[in-house]
Structure 1
Amino acid sequence: MIVTMNRLFSLCVLVSLCLIVHSQEDPCGTTHGCFRDPQGCFPSSECTYYVSWTNNTADTSLVDFEVSVAVGSGDMYAAMGLSQNDQMPESDIYMCRSDQTMVGYYPSSKGITSADERELKGISNMVVDSIVDGDLHCTFSRMIDLTETDPEFFSLNDDLYVLVAFGALTGGTTPDYHTGAGRWLTAEPVDLLDVGLKPSDEDPCDKTHGCYRNPENCYPPSECTYYVSWTGNTADASLVDFEVSVDVGSGDMYAAMGLSQNDQMPESDIYMCRSDQTMVGYYPSSKSISSADERELKGISNEVVDPIVDGDLHCTFSRMIELDEDDPEFFSMNDDLYVLVAFGELSGGTTPDYHGAGRFLTSEPVDLLDTSSAQTDLKLPRAKKAHACLMVIGWMGLASTGILFARYMKPFMSDQTLCGNKVWFNSHRINMISALVCFVSAFIVIFAVKKEFVDSEIREIYAHGIIGCIAVGLGVINPIMAIFRPHPGTPNRPFFNYAHRTVGILGWMSAMIAIILASDFYFTAESITDVNAFWTITVFLIIGLVIIILFEVFECTVAQQDSAPSADIALRQPGDQVSNITVPPTAHPAERWRSMIFSLALLDILVCTIVMVVFIIQVEI
């Protein structure tokens, strides 16, 4: 009997557990329609916001709603609104408050604080919970239709936008502005009598919206580095609705979207959302937007700019397809246009600084009246990466090695030859020719894609371009000089030696300065390298300086034999025999230190060059 009772008890526990597990299954898309974030979150306490609706099982004239929002602590509210457009004014709003009461609003403007509470018509079964772990939760039932006509009560037989907002309560009852970020909106009107998976919970791109975003297929916008979407306004066919969201970081920042007839920022129609929740327009005549004047936001309406939340600056606005009057600074969206996205800092909270790497461009003009997605033009970012890698390999790696061979390694393997010449000479020549190929290729790559010289008010960019050109120029001149070098022992040979050495060192130093400027600027602005690249080139130069000091000390301490001949290499003439000058067969006992110092130098060059290239390659574009 006792065994039977134990088995029965175990069975009851198992059934209870199954019922509990079943009750915790996500109802969205099966028995409930849902609007929530993050996508697929359940239970509601795991969501930033959660709204669900389902038909009331006891009364078919009712729809049951559940609202849960992460509001934090204190006197707070969580509100759900039903709207015939995608705006808060003239929306049917139901507000659950932290004092466990519920009120209704029908605001005539965006300022809900000035709206009057209204009778909760058609609402029943209200339950408002107190805040638990930062979540404010409530449930209620709403009639599908009122028996009497009321323009402020929307029929659920019509598809409606669902809005969610939260904010603080002044005096425990008066709602403050929802602070922008505490507001969410379905991507399109929702059938609230249907419980299927809602488009509002799905990625609208390529379906109801055209999109330009990164990473590819990221959604919701808060998961994207940048996100721009466009769709026809459902209430006014002359408008296109835009949504812009950019990961800008913190502080006084801006996120801007531009429409352009070419692929450049000058003469683009730019709309800038700022972290102070304002929006301004620009039509810059040059690449420096900081010197451009703000202009009237013609053809713009319904603009909402949210404050920065978790690094994301988000805004929405509607733009007319074309103006009634002709304006050369307002581009008609009947024409395909490039879409540009940029972000950066605001000096003094209002003046936009240079965007640096915070600039993205569609690969081709976009039809903004279509819902197809656009792709990013990666030609320039990729060209910059290739340019940077080739310059680093050419100058840091190959040129540095070639210079060390020529300056310090002439006694190295002095009794042996490589391809008919002294080991040091051909090692120097191979490295320098390879370096020449690298930096000339880098020079061609960047100009072929950019198609212009540096045009920027940023000093680092301009200086990088100028000094880089000097380095390449000197790097090209030096091998040409070497081709016409005088024979050893001739009167002009010493002048050549000094000139060849001076041009080579100046070219190398110019290249190092250009690389430092690139690393120092681009890791913060252009995302071609990161901060580690700057410190890598710094370490490379410090170790290199120590190695040069060691070599010079070594050269001073090693007493060369007075009879030791020159190691200069003469030009080969047709029919000449190889007659490199021999070095005494017995090397100085301290010569092994030369190889040790040189090995240390090669290790510094190899490691730092590889690390720099890795840092350049791994940065996302």
Structure 2
Amino acid sequence: MFTRHIIPCVTILLYPWFAHAQTGSTTETNSIIDIWYAKPSRAKCGTEYGCFSDPEVCEFTQLESMNNLTTPLCQIFLLHRQNPKDKNKIDFYLERKGIKENDSKNKYIALGLGPTKVMAGSSAIMCMIFGSGNNAQVLNRYNKGYENQALPIEDGKLGLSDTKVELVKDVDSLNTQKISCKFTKDKTLGNDKVFKLISPDNKKARLKRQDNTVPISTTTKTSNQSDTNLEKYHLILVEGNMNDNGEPKYHAQRKPHVSTQKFALAQLLINSAVVMGGHLSSIHILTKLHGIFMLIGWIFLVSVATLYARHLKLFCPQKTYCGGLKLWFVIHRSFNILAVILIIIATILIFVRIRGWSYNPLYLPNKVPLAHSITGILAIIFAVIQPIIAYFRPHPGVSVKRITFNWFHRLIGTLGLLLAVASIFLATKFTYFSNNDFIQSILKLMIAAVFLYGTAEIILWSIHFVRAYYIRNKHDKNKKSYDLTNLDGNNTNYVASNPTDVPVTPQNITAELKLNNKWELIKFAIVNLLGLLLLGLLIAMIVQLARA
């Protein structure tokens, strides 16, 4: 009898100091560990506490996983329950398993409470381990867009108590560690960035909460709290590293694990074996569509349209299409019009997604988003004004107005393309993309696309200058020149630089025309080969962005 009652009590009393001595972990409280989470079990989910895990159906310990061979070991999980001493508080426990010892420094795990299925606009309770576990904190933070913000110290600790973070050896796995994090959250304390679990019962709040709440039948009530003033959120489990300044990096190791439905944590015990979550992309669908449309518009359509106008005006000059238009103009105009449409749609999508201009220097110390926004907006402006100024272009000829238009049109087009490419490169350098393998693959594909485009331009301009040198040399030698812009077999448009020059015959013109066509055919092949390569790279980039 003595051993049955005394030994467990001694173990409970000594456990906090024993664990601390074994691991060197840091805590923020001197309170004794409540053993409600000390031996988590899937069998207790939905009854003694709520559970949310990744994978959805998994075991919390290796022993239980071995007993049930079809169920894997959880990688990260959340437990929550009604605090037994205070009905206005909820106890939470987060655990991340399988952290390699060489990757255990400066880590964090977090619980996000989101109005939507993404981290943007969510309140996060972050459990942060600094260094090798010598310092730790549990703090409220807020995600403005995809930038995680630190809050003033009074908000950072608002509603949180009995916090404890540990980096300990994971007994369920060899040579790995785990982060365990315990905290208690007050249901009623919060603000616009620290979300409450219960809000005042008013008409506006009730209307806001008429959403896809989880049916009670799949969960267990924790209290008799009225449904009318419960706040409901998507649960988001996140992990990642922190930088040298103690700021969380993008969660690159694993995508956020997000509940497919909203939960009222103040009332319900969740059982994720019943109510499934899922790996949802951390990049919103509208953001992806914005990127896809911009890539199609700038990298393929504008690039090919520019090359046709710049290098293929003399290709098949006698053939016309679409009511007397030359091939280069048909491609140039149709591709650019389609590109402008896609660019405008992409712009609308991203403004809808971020609800306007998102940059705020108080919230985004990283200047990359600002640079992306500025270069992107300038590129969009240039793209939109191009068809407008083209509509008012002077008639073809050698007038001053036409020459001025040509140079202005070229300058605006070139600047727009350069700014767009710079903006795309900047987008891949966003903080929350820095460790995303799919986005980094897009960066490599973009580098390849720019290299191919630059190489094609060098080759095409080399052909232009070599041909110009060849023609000038030949004409200087023969003291004659040809105007091949109006070859009809009768009007040779011969211009003699010397009265004694030999008249040009149709045979001379035919030979010159054949040589000219060879040069143009080579350029045509290069431009189209580049177009096919850019199309291949574009498809690869779209696939990577869709998977990100």
Task: State the TM-score, normalized to the length of structure 1.
Answer: 0.59
Deviation at residue 520 of structure 1 after TM alignment: 3.3
Deviation at residue 293 of structure 1 after TM alignment: 3.5
Q: Cα RMSD between the aligned structures?
A: 4.5
1:111 is the counterpart of 2:111: no
1:412-460: per-residue Cα shift (whole Å, max 9, x none)?
2322222221111111112111211222111111111221223232222
CA distance in 2, matches of 1:327, 1:485: 53
Aligned length: 435
CA distance in 2, matches of 1:428, 1:494: 19
Q: Does the 8 Å contact 2:394/2:402 carry over to 1?
A: yes
Q: Looking at both structures, which has the greater relative contact order when contacts are Cα pairs under 8 Å and sequence separation is at least 6?
A: 2
1:331 is the counterpart of 2:236: no
Q: Does the 8 Å contact 1:485/1:496 carry over to 2?
A: yes
CA distance in 2, matches of 1:512, 1:209: 52
Letter paired with 1:607 = G
Alignment of 1:511-530 (within 5 A): 511-521=420-430, 524-525=433-434, 527=436, 529-530=438-439
Deviation at residue 402 of structure 1 after TM alignment: 0.8
Letter paired with 1:274 = I
Q: Which one of 472, 489, 498 corresponds to residue 407 of structure 2?
A: 498
Three-state SS of the structure 2 residue aligned to 1:565 is: helix
Three-state SS of the structure 1 residue aligned to 2:422 is: helix
Deviation at residue 180 of structure 1 after TM alignment: 7.1
Q: Which has the higher helix share?
A: 2
1:370 is the counterpart of 2:268: yes
The match for 1:126 is none
Three-state SS of the structure 2 residue aligned to 1:520 is: coil
Q: Which one of 428, 449, 455 corresponds to residue 353 of structure 2?
A: 449
Letter paired with 1:251 = K
Three-state SS of the structure 1 residue aligned to 2:263 is: coil
The match for 2:547 is 618
1:301 is the counterpart of 2:230: no
Three-state SS of the structure 2 residue aligned to 1:301 is: strand
CA distance in 2, matches of 1:409, 1:326: 62
1:575-618: per-residue Cα shift (whole Å, max 9, x none)?
xxxxxxxx996451333321332233123312221221122122
Alignment of 1:43-54 (within 5 A): none
CA distance in 2, matches of 1:301, 1:507: 55
Contiguous gaps of at least 5 residues in structure 1? 1-60, 62-80, 84-89, 94-104, 114-166, 168-174, 191-198, 568-582
CA distance in 2, matches of 1:297, 1:208: 26
Change (3 A) 1:226 1:382: farther
Change (3 A) 1:586 1:285: closer
Alignment of 1:88-237 (within 5 A): 92=8, 105-113=10-18, 176-177=21-22, 200-201=41-42, 204=45, 209-210=49-50, 217=57, 220=60, 227-233=77-83, 237=87
The match for 2:298 is 395
Letter paired with 1:106 = T
Letter paired with 2:302 = A
Q: Does the 8 Å contact 2:115/2:121 carry over to 1?
A: no
Deviation at residue 506 of structure 1 after TM alignment: 0.7
The match for 1:412 is 315
The match for 2:110 is 256
Change (3 A) 1:517 1:82: farther
1:556 is the counterpart of 2:465: yes
Letter paired with 2:11 = Y
Deviation at residue 306 of structure 1 after TM alignment: 3.2
Change (3 A) 1:504 1:250: farther
CA distance in 1, matches of 2:414, 2:286: 27
Letter paired with 2:485 = P
Q: Does the 8 Å contact 1:380/1:449 carry over to 2?
A: no
Deviation at residue 408 of structure 1 after TM alignment: 0.8
Q: Does the 8 Å contact 1:258/1:268 carry over to 2?
A: yes
The match for 2:129 is 274
The match for 2:93 is 243
CA distance in 2, matches of 1:301, 1:417: 79
The match for 1:194 is none
Change (3 A) 1:215 1:479: farther
CA distance in 2, matches of 1:538, 1:246: 37
Give the number of the structure whose alpha-carbon radius of gyration is greater: 1
Bigger mean CA deviation after superposition, 550-559 or 333-342: 333-342
1:493-523: per-residue Cα shift (whole Å, max 9, x none)?
1111111111111111111001111223367
Three-state SS of the structure 2 residue aligned to 1:538 is: helix
Q: Does the 8 Å contact 2:163/2:182 carry over to 1?
A: yes
Change (3 A) 1:530 1:250: farther
Bigger mean CA deviation after superposition, 551-560 or 222-231: 222-231
Q: Which has the higher strand share?
A: 1
1:53-104: per-residue Cα shift (whole Å, max 9, x none)?
xxxxxxxx9xxxxxxxxxxxxxxxxxxx999xxxxxx9828xxxxxxxxxxx
CA distance in 2, matches of 1:241, 1:528: 35
1:477 is the counterpart of 2:477: no
Letter paired with 1:429 = R
Contiguous gaps of at least 5 residues in structure 2? 27-32, 62-71, 171-175, 199-228, 472-480, 488-509
Q: Does the 8 Å contact 2:295/2:538 carry over to 1?
A: yes
Q: Does the 8 Å contact 1:258/1:269 carry over to 2?
A: yes
Q: Does the 8 Å contact 2:94/2:182 carry over to 1?
A: yes
